[in-house]
Amino acid sequence: MHAFQYLGAHPHLDGYIFRVYAPKAKKIELIGDFNHWNGKNHCLKKINSKGFFELYVPEIKKNYETYKFHILTSKNTWIDKADPYAFFSELRPSNASKTFDINHYIFHDAQWMAFRNKNQNRPLNIYELHLGSWLKKENNTWYSYEEIVDKLITYIQKNHFTHVEFMPLLEYPFDGSWGYQCSGFFSITSRYGNPDQLKYLIDQLHQNQIGVILDYVVLHFVKDAFSLGRFDGSHLYESYWLDQRHSPWDTYLFDFSKPEVMSFVLSSLTYLIEYFHIDGIRFDAISNLIFHQGNKNLGVNESGLNFIKKMNHLLSFSFPTVMLIAEDSSDFEKVTTPTFEGGLGFDYKWDLGWMNDTFAYLKIDPLYRGNHIQKITFSMYYFYSEKFLLPLSHDEVVHMKNTVINKIWGSYEDKFKQLKTLYTYMFTHPGKKLNFMGNELALFEEWNENKAIPFDILKYPIHDSFHQYFIALNCLYQNEPALYQQEYNPQHFQWLMCENTTQNIFIYQRTYQQECLITILNFAPMQYPLYRFGINQKKGSFKEILNSDKFCYHGNNFINEGKIAIESIPSHGKEQSIQVKIPSFGALILKYIP
């Protein structure tokens, strides 16, 4: 039995049974609407010496009954606490727990569940979204989990994403934290509905062949008085030591040296995966679990590291088809190596180095980019050390960091040209893909959680044409095995040109079995009507399958039509070569035809 199946509030006989772990509590009363918040007649019984308390309440028979634990501490102070294991909660600013029977919903996604795996040799193209600001109603209120189903499915399918990644959906008190300052680790946020409604959303996504990843805050929790901090008057979930208690986000850090804390978090993850059919967990701020305060100079966080290994080992064993994804900014080794081989056991790691280097390169005036080609080439030097995922996430479009298009040097028109080339680079570079909502629209305004994504921007042709190009890239990525099969095998990637310091042109090939795709990226304003470069193939030809400069993508139609012949003309150290047109700030993808 998992902790969440025992602790918390559960239907029992004709009522509900309440259990809580509070080893330092002298006395606990159950309070709520059902007893007018007076718990004198509803005292929990201490059922063993380890600190477990229990009470059966026959008069509570249904969902949505509010309650809290009224706890007498060892210092004879009364405090009111929400249930750490509650499955539902009041909508902020209220914060009481609510009863909810989690065992009624029946999924209809058996076909999806039987088919899913960790996507090592499948396309993985993730759409990261904040459920409260992707769409809003006319009165600026949220859509519920159920109401948004059809709209979300239609959009994901149209854009050819394979998965959605929801920013945290566990309960949290402050909207501005986006869910990253959690108060209820078993309580699905009531902002958008109840747990069964979220199950319905996930069920429908699965039935439409769309996977679901959940962003999870494993490191810390809110300091609000009703939550986990000083739960029974003692530092039950956080550290006893002041310097190990506080996080950089003004929250409390979990103390993973305590078995009860490890059990709590593992139980939360098990609940989400098992009861909601989550296909992947993205773990936030893993570097702060690896190192104290995320600072390598402060040394390795041994209890955090031990917890990561235990967590991933148990989850991988219990749920072998669920993806475990680390958002880790450190250079700690073997993050995606299995635990039985001495690693941390994640399946994927965000490649934040690729993201930072790419943006740093694109900020530079093309006149000087030749001195910084390593910003583009360096990622492939370390790529095979981990199983990387390329993220352009919400973190990059908030807090005055600018949107993706606004990070790029150049005029209005040139920004759009280079944005298409950036995304061609992303979708043809090895590694799984993630984009935050709105990236596909080339937005100039940073994300604001209080506003809906401005989809009406597509009324402007230049934004609409970029969106069409983005869709074409997503579709091509999904349908070309050379772009995802064996991508973590170095034999399937090769630079054909990566040291061109004068023209800012990069060329590389991706291969799988007999298939070969060549990507050409031009990060300079010059166009080339006759550009020759060396290739590996001795015979056959190539065909252009995507060009960012087509009319339909707001380009000048500087494209390659028909077959591109392979010629026995030496170039760039190769005996054979081909000659192509390359548009300014453009990108093209060629496919080999035997």
The pLDDT tens digits for 201-255 are: 999 999 999 999 999 999 999 999 999 999 999 999 999 988 889 999 999 999 9
Each residue of 125-183: pLDDT tens digit? 999 999 999 999 989 899 999 999 999 999 999 999 999 999 999 999 999 999 999 99
Alpha carbons 534 and 388: distance in angstroms, whole number: 29
Cβ-based neighbours of 349, under 8 Å, separated by 6 or more? 325, 326, 328, 335, 336, 386, 387, 388, 389
Residue 400: per-residue pLDDT? 74
345 touches 309 (CB < 8 A): yes
509 touches 490 (CB < 8 A): no
Q: Looking up tokens 């093309």, which residue turns up? A: 366
Q: What are phi and psi of 510, to 5 degrees?
A: -120, 135
Alpha carbons 223 and 310: distance in angstroms, whole number: 26
Alpha carbons 538 and 553: distance in angstroms, whole number: 33
Alpha carbons 93 and 172: distance in angstroms, whole number: 10
Alpha carbons 59 and 230: distance in angstroms, whole number: 30
Cβ-based neighbours of 115, under 8 Å, separated by 6 or more? none
Q: What are phi and psi of 235, to 5 degrees?
A: -85, 75
Q: In this structure, what token pair is assigned to residue 431?
A: 């590694």
Give the DSSP per-residue string, 154-193: HHHHHHT-SEEEEPP-EE-S-GGGTT-S-SEEEEE-GGG-
Each residue of 29-46: pLDDT tens digit? 999 999 999 999 999 999
Each residue of 337-364: pLDDT tens digit? 999 999 999 999 999 999 999 999 999 9
Residue 284 is a catalytic residue: yes
Sign, Cα dihedral of 97, 248, 295, 355: positive
Alpha carbons 221 and 206: distance in angstroms, whole number: 30
244 touches 255 (CB < 8 A): yes
List 215, 238, 327, 440, catalytic entry:
327
Alpha carbons 141 and 402: distance in angstroms, whole number: 26
- Looking only at the bridges linking them, the beta strands covering 323-326 and 280-283 are parallel
Distance between start and end Cα atoms, the chain: 58
**132, HSE (Cβ side, Cα atoms, 13 Å):** 18
List 284, 357, 544, 549, catalytic entry:
284
326 touches 281 (CB < 8 A): no
What topology does CATH give the domain 3-98?
Answer: Immunoglobulin-like (2.60.40)
Share of the chain above pLDDT 70, in %: 100
Give the DSSP per-residue string, 47-99: -STTSEEEEEETT--STT-EEEEEEE-TTS-EEEE--TT-SEEPPTT---EE-
Residue 250 is a catalytic residue: no
How far is CA 94 from each of CA 143, 167, 251, 578, rounded to the nearest angstrom? 20, 22, 19, 67
Alpha carbons 3 and 1: distance in angstroms, whole number: 7
Residue 243: per-residue pLDDT? 81
Alpha carbons 73 and 22: distance in angstroms, whole number: 10
In terms of phi and psi (left: phi > 0; alpha: psi -120 to 50; beta: otherwise), the region of 349 is: beta
Each residue of 383-404: pLDDT tens digit? 999 999 999 999 999 877 899 9
Each residue of 394-453: pLDDT tens digit? 999 987 789 999 999 999 999 999 999 999 999 999 999 999 999 999 999 999 999 999
Class of domain 490-593: mainly beta
Residues of the chain with CATH 2.60.40.10: 3-98
Residues of the chain with CATH 2.60.40.1180: 490-593
Helix axes 195-207, 149-159, angle to 10 degrees: 30
Each residue of 7-19: pLDDT tens digit? 999 999 999 999 9
Alpha carbons 18 and 483: distance in angstroms, whole number: 52
- Looking only at the bridges linking them, the beta strands covering 432-436 and 388-392 are parallel
